[in-house]
Structure 1
Amino acid sequence: MDLGLWIQILLGLGNRFGNLFIFAFVLTKIKAFRRIVAKEKLSTEDKLILSVVFGIFGIVGTYFSFEYNGALINTRIIGVASGGLLGGPLVGVLSGLIAGVHRGLINAGNVTSTACAVSTIFEGLMAGCMGLYVRNKRVKWPYAMLTGAIAESMRKIALLLMIKPFSVALDLVIDILVPMVIINSLGLGLFFMILEAIFKDRERAVARQSDLSLKIADRALPYLKNGIDSDEFGKVARIVYDMTDFDAVTLTDREKIISHEGIGTPRHAVGAPVVTFLTERVLTTGECVVMGRCEEKDCGFHGKCMLKSTLTLPLNDGNDIVGTLKLYKITEGSITEVDTALGNGLAKLISTELRIAKLEGRSKLVTQAEVKALQAQINPHFLFNSLTVIGSLCRTEPLKARDLIFSLSSFFRKNLNGNRQNVPVWEELDHVRSYVEIERARLKDKLDVMYEVDESLDFIIPSLTLQPLVENAIKHGIYPKKEKGQVKLVAEKREESYFISISDNGVGMKSENLKILQKGESSGTESMGFGNVIKRLEGYFGPNFSFDVSSKMDNGTVIELRIPAGKGVAL
């Protein structure tokens, strides 16, 4: 063991080490390389690219070497092993093949050329297998150092097996093994430290931008609820401009500029038409587009506008692209990967809110349509029969006839007024009473209706929800009954809920119809509007609303509603 010789070899490799790491540092600054390495899954094309890159990296390590006793003291394994660790066995073998064939073809270090060429391929395979093992580990540099030590040991074993005479090979291995293991292990470890530092910085930057996206979304949420056509939507551009480093922010719909904040030209004025091919492209393809310098040759301000770099992103409402978000910087080529990640996050958040606004708008339209449908279910026979009863009472009981006219008027006014979706519970109960008075006059002594209502109740409830349930009780429970029937309505507060019960002692219903009602659905003629009513109550009061239906043939039916206190606040 010659310690002085080891130090000499270490210093010789160290002098070339700096050149190698200049190459490695430049490599990590290439965006395409960073994108490929950052992927969790690599395509075959990606692996071929990595194989060529790290094969060249290995060749560079061969050239940054010096000769000693017929051998090249080199750092070739740093490139080959890096390829295997990052890309797996295929990349390791191919990069080893590229660097190994090159080593076998050059004239320098002829004594070890064949052994080193063959060994390099197997070293790449070993590094690739190690890469599979460390793929999901966040800290890889210790494994990289271990890989370097194993690879150098494999090469020295190849020298002992393939160089003759053996004594020459043994002397050579004793002289160079330790310094080459040290320098290449350190080299691989340092290279992976650089990679990990780069990706950690990138992850931190993306995390900061994601946090910023959420903060922007939180401030912008009130202005997104009514969709892209609302007057307040344009305020989102101001929020994005104030909270980011972009020099200008624009929001457009498919035809015009909705809002522009920051540096601009008259072409960026609010209401100006969308004329750039870049915006048209994004609206057509739905792809995010980065433009490093202005290429709008037909623009009247080409060459005069200070906005040089643009990130244009599509905004969609779930089905259609409805507009764009445009982010500008005044320096050419200054849109970074982090800027793109932030822009994509903002566009997705805005698009999500636009989608929610669209769905809520559709939900309101559906609810209005359902109320209209419920209003349209008024049986004309009910009107004719009511007028007949009133007509017969005009001579015998004119005061009673007058009261019924008032009740009928109130009933139809309520049914035909579709402007109010939600009303105070006492208003809904008044509507029930108007309906009941008309039915009492028609059925006379056959119908008895009892009310147990807490008059202090004061909460909001969807309109036309209680009257259809009472009508079902009378129409399907009491009408078919030969004897006198009774309907009872109870409304009171129980602990943290409002309790409403509608029961009758009528004919009841069949079990198959009962099962349908217990699911919150309508069973045809057995339950006019029941499913509609339950769906609207669930939609308004949310998951804490519940109901129950029980019935037995010839023993009547009971419907119970449990409404969470606090949702339907008093007017």
Structure 2
Amino acid sequence: MILNIILGLANKFGNLFVFAFILSRLRSFRNLIAKRPVKLIDKLILSSVFGIFGIIGTYFSIEFEGALVNTRIIGVATGGLLGGPLVGLLAGLIAGIHRGMIFAGSFTTTACAVSTVFEGIMAGFMGKFIQNKKKKWMYAALTGAIAESMRKISVLIFSRPFEDAVSLVKAIWIPMVVINSLGLALLFVIIDNIFTEEEKMGAQQAELTLRIADKTLPFIKKGLSSKDIQKVAQIVYDMTEYNAVSFTNTEKIVAHAGAGTDRHEVGKPIVTDITNHVLATGEPIILGHCSEKLCMYRNHNCPLESVVMFPLKENDKVIGTFKLYKGVPNAITAIDVELANGLAKLFSTQLTLGKLEYHSKLLAAAELKALQAQINPHFLFNSLTVIGSLCRTNPDKARSLITHLSNVFRKNLNMNKEVIDLEVELNHVKSYVEIEKARFEEKLEVIYDIEENLNCILPPLTLQPIVENAIKHGLLPKKNGGRVSITGKKQKNEVIIHIEDDGVGIEKERLLQIMSDKQIHEDSLGINNVNQRLKGMFGEKYGLQIESKVGKGTVVVLKIPVIEHAEECD
């Protein structure tokens, strides 16, 4: 008899799988599992769901000697274990009130109705106890055993005649403890497996997205108009199992990898309504089968049946689309959508950063041109004045200065490279210094102490603005002028250059203003420009280091990493 009752209840276990599936789809339930805050309204929803499941357990009963042998406790206890005392109480009330209102199994109606409420409360406190414990299925089984024992005690208290209650309890206690404990344990195992698998899939997807990002980063930042965008499509295609990957701008296909038709060739204009819809609205589209009227493959032999398409944006402006194709109809899953969404957002971010980097380079180039323009007119007029005065008194000196002047301006006019050799920059500085020495004669002394065979690559117009600043603002305000020392040596993998003067020095507040990125005074344009270009090219630690003492002078230190080829600067 006991075995028959157990087998009869076991046949009702199919609803456990249905219940587990329904629970896994509820946002409030997922928040419970993830231990995120759950609102009161969510708890009320969960209470109703668990209570209804308890009612279903009542209907899936087996009548035995005037009682209902059932799995009602599984729904109520699950609510308490996961949602706490409040959810357990409400679920118990819903299932308990229903049990008290039905006629079937009237011998145990009151006992079962009352015990269901207390079983829910007990499960709620058990849930708080096991909240951070592992192997919850074991505690679920224990909760089932306790709950069924509470119900049998309730039957002995409320059901009469007492002899019949004792006989009933002896007959069904063991099978109901076994089946409900087993059911609760099995339900928690199912729920745990569902979320464990989802977490694994989510982790794998995140890992895949990061690996794709790592490989595509050098190419995507160059923009959709770059030829390298084809490499991005190929990388995504090679690292995933999609039949094709495409990129478009607002007018045409710019990259395609994998299977395709004549319509998918790179360079072909956009003709599909769905792509134009994504471009116009910025909303993604998931298509289960080809529905384009102009597609010759629409009704047969289409190699790309399903597609998920997301917009690509720069500063919230749609500039193109990203598409993942599958060759089977209705094959796009939620995981495909999440992957496409993640990659589209990542690509959009990199496209925006690439555009900002491009504009930053344009700005730096414009600042460099402004610096050149600032140097050229004043320097030219002053130099020509000196040369003119020397033409009669010292023609050889005037001829030499003209050569130096032409060198200075030739280099300024040809400063369209991002980097130059240190030797070239030093020659530029020497030509500039020779002209300044001709102007100020005994007031200016420049000493060079450069290590032999010292070479590195640095941005153009790096040293000259610093030397000019030392002469113009450091030495010339002094009545007797002064000295500028330029030293250079190699330390490990860096070239260290010191430009030191014994001029008037710079006050602390003024020095902070000069090095500030926010307020750039006209007199500090050159120094700030050099500082920003060094940091932008080599990194923050390679910015200028300036030390100054009022009345004693200033030292500017440059650290340049040893890079022998300009390509390495990328």
Query: With structure 1 as the length reference, what TM-score do the two structures score?
Result: 0.88
Residue 173 (structure 1) aligned to one of 157, 169, 172: 169
Question: Aligned partner of 1:344: which letter?
Answer: N
- Which position in structure 2 is the counterpart of 1:155? 151
Change (3 A) 1:45 1:14: farther
Contact residue 10 and residue 180 of structure 1 kept, 8 A: no
Cα shift at 1:177: 2.9
Could you tell me how far 1:309 is from its partner in structure 2?
2.8
> Which of 389, 395, 399 is 1:398 aligned to?
395
- C-alpha deviation, 1:525, in angstroms: 5.9
**Which residue of 1 is the match for residue 242 of structure 2?**
246
Once the two structures are TM-superposed, the CA of residue 204 in structure 1 deviates from its matched residue by 2.5
Q: 1:96 aligns with which of 92, 98, 123?
A: 92
Instruction: Summarize the alignment of residues 187-226 of structure 1 with structure 2, pairs less than 5 Å apart.
Output: 187-226=183-222
Whether contact under 8 Å (2:77, 2:120) holds in the other structure is yes
Q: Distance in 2 between matches of 1:372 and 1:166?
A: 103
Given the alignment of the two structures, is residue 445 of structure 1 paired with residue 442 of structure 2, yes or no?
Answer: yes
Which residue of 23, 31, 39 corresponds with 2:15?
23
SS at match of 1:102: helix
Matching residue's letter, 1:331: V
Given candidates 469, 473, 488, the residue that maps to 1:472 is 469
Provide the residue aligned with 1:315 in structure 2.
Answer: 312
Say whether residues 1:434 and 2:431 are aligned partners: yes
| 1:185 corresponding residue in structure 2 | 181
Q: Name the amino acid aligned to 2:202.
A: V
Superposed CA offset, 1:218-251 (max 9, x none): 4434432412221120232233233322223222
Kept after mapping to 2: 8 A contact 1:452/1:490:
yes
Matched, 1:268 2:284: no
- Give the match's secondary structure for 1:228: coil
**Equivalent of residue 501 in structure 2, options 492, 499, 504:** 504
- 1:514-558 per-residue CA deviation (whole Å, 9 max, x = no partner) reads 344466887736645212211211222214425432222322222
Task: Name 1:142's counterpart in structure 2.
Answer: 138
Displacement after TM superposition at 1:210 (Å): 3.1
Q: What does residue 362 of structure 1 align with?
A: 359
Superposed, 1:38-49 pairs within 5 Å as 38-39=30-31, 40=34, 41=36, 42=38, 47=43
* Matched ranges for 1:364-383 at <5 A: 364-378=361-375, 380-383=377-380
Measured at CA, do residues 294 and 32 of structure 1 come closer, stay the same or move farther in structure 2, by a change above 3 Å? farther
CA contact (8 A) 2:306 2:328 kept: yes
TM-fit CA distance, 1:424: 0.8
| 1:83-121 deviation per Cα after TM superposition (whole angstroms, max 9, x unaligned) | 333444554444434433332222211122233223323
Corresponding residue for residue 67 of structure 1: 63
Q: Mean alpha-carbon deviation: is it higher for 403-412 or for 375-384?
A: 375-384
Question: One-letter code of the match for 2:17?
Answer: F
CA contact (8 A) 1:518 1:548 kept: no
List aligned pairs for 1:276-295, cutoff 5 A: 276-284=272-280, 286-294=282-290
Evaluate the alpha carbon distance shift between residue 401 and residue 509 of structure 1 in structure 2; reply closer, same or farther with a 3 A threshold: same
Which sits farther off after the overlay, 74-83 or 134-143? 134-143
Paired amino acid for 2:10: F
Partners of 1:32 and 1:539 lie apart in 2 by 50
1:256 corresponds in structure 2 to 252
Distance across 1 between alignment mates of 2:450 and 2:392: 35
**One-letter amino acid of the structure 2 residue matched with residue 540 of structure 1:** M
Q: SS of the residue aligned with 1:344?
A: helix
Change (3 A) 1:526 1:419: closer
The one-character-per-residue Cα deviations of 1:152-180 (angstroms, maximum 9, x if unpaired) are: 23333433443345555455434433332
1:230 aligns with 226
| Aligned position for 1:11 | 4
- For residue 46 of structure 1, report the CA deviation from its aligned partner: 5.2
Conserved in 1, the CA contact under 8 Å of 2:279 and 2:318?
yes
Check if 1:124 corresponds to 2:120. Answer: yes
Cα distance change of structure 1 residues 218 and 556 upon mapping to structure 2, 3 Å threshold: closer
Check 1:292–1:143 CA distance in 2 against 1; reply closer, same or farther (3 A cut): farther
2:333 to 328, 333, 336: 336
Q: Which amino acid aligns with 1:213?
A: T
Equivalent-residue separation in structure 1 for 2:510 and 2:502 (angstroms): 17
Q: What residue in structure 2 maps to residue 4 of structure 1?
A: none
Note if contact 1:502-1:560 (Cα within 8 Å) is conserved in structure 2. yes
Kept after mapping to 1: 8 A contact 2:244/2:325: yes
**Cα deviation digits, residues 69-94 of structure 1 (max 9, x gap):** 32211111112222333444554444
The answer on 1:80 being equivalent to 2:76 is yes
1:561 correspondence with 2:538: no
Q: Given that residues 311 and 340 in structure 1 are in contact (C-alpha distance below 8 angstroms), is that contact kept between their aligned partners in structure 2?
A: yes
Task: Please say if residues 43 and 87 of structure 2, whose CA atoms lie closer than 8 Å, have aligned partners that are also in contact.
Answer: yes
Q: Which moved more, 1:322-331 or 1:458-467?
A: 322-331
- Corresponding pairs, count: 563
Query: Between the two proteins, what is the percent identity of the paired residues?
Result: 53
* Alpha-carbon distance change, 137 to 282 in structure 1, aligned in 2, over 3 angstroms: farther
Following superposition, the deviation at residue 425 of structure 1 comes to 0.9
Q: What SS class does the counterpart of residue 314 from structure 1 fall into?
A: strand
SS in 1 for 2:461: coil
Tell me the alpha carbon deviations over residues 190-216 of structure 1, each in whole angstroms, 9 at most, x when there is no partner: 111122222222322333333333343
Aligned partners of 2:415 and 2:460 also within 8 Å: no
**Cα distance change on mapping 1:345 and 1:522 into 2, 3 Å:** closer
Deviation at 1:453, TM superposition (A): 1.1
- In structure 2, the residue matched to 1:5 is none
Would the alpha carbon gap of residues 520 and 340 (structure 1) be closer, same or farther in structure 2, given more than 3 Å must change? closer
Which stretch of the first structure deviates more once superposed, 289-298 or 50-59?
289-298
Question: Aligned partners of 1:54, 1:331: CA distance in 2, in Å?
Answer: 39
For 2:201 and 2:357, locate their aligned partners in 1 and report how far apart those are by CA, in whole Å: 35
> In the alignment, what sits opposite 2:533?
536
Unaligned runs of 5+ in 2: none
Letter of the aligned partner of 1:393 in structure 2? Answer: L
Q: Secondary structure at the match of 1:499?
A: strand
Q: Can you list the C-alpha shifts for 1:33-57, whole angstroms capped at 9, x where unaligned?
A: 2766434345666555544443343
Deviates more, 1:547-556 or 1:290-299: 290-299
Contact kept in structure 1, 2:456 and 2:561, CA below 8 Å? no
Once residues 124 and 564 of structure 2 are traced to their aligned partners in structure 1, the CA distance between those partners, rounded to angstroms, is 61
Instruction: Report the counterpart of residue 411 of structure 2 in structure 1.
Output: 414
Q: Residue 375 and residue 251 in structure 1: after superposition, are their counterparts in 2 closer, same or farther (change >3 A)?
A: same
Conservation of the 8 A alpha-carbon contact between 1:9 and 1:176: yes
In structure 2, the CA distance between the partners of 1:556 and 1:274, relative to structure 1 (3 Å rule), is same
User: Which among 440, 460, 485 is matched to residue 488 of structure 1?
Assistant: 485
Range with bigger deviation, 45-54 or 383-392: 45-54
8 Å contact from structure 1 (residues 291, 309) kept in 2: yes
Deviations for 1:249-279, whole angstroms, at most 9, x for unmatched residues? 2222233222333444443333344444543
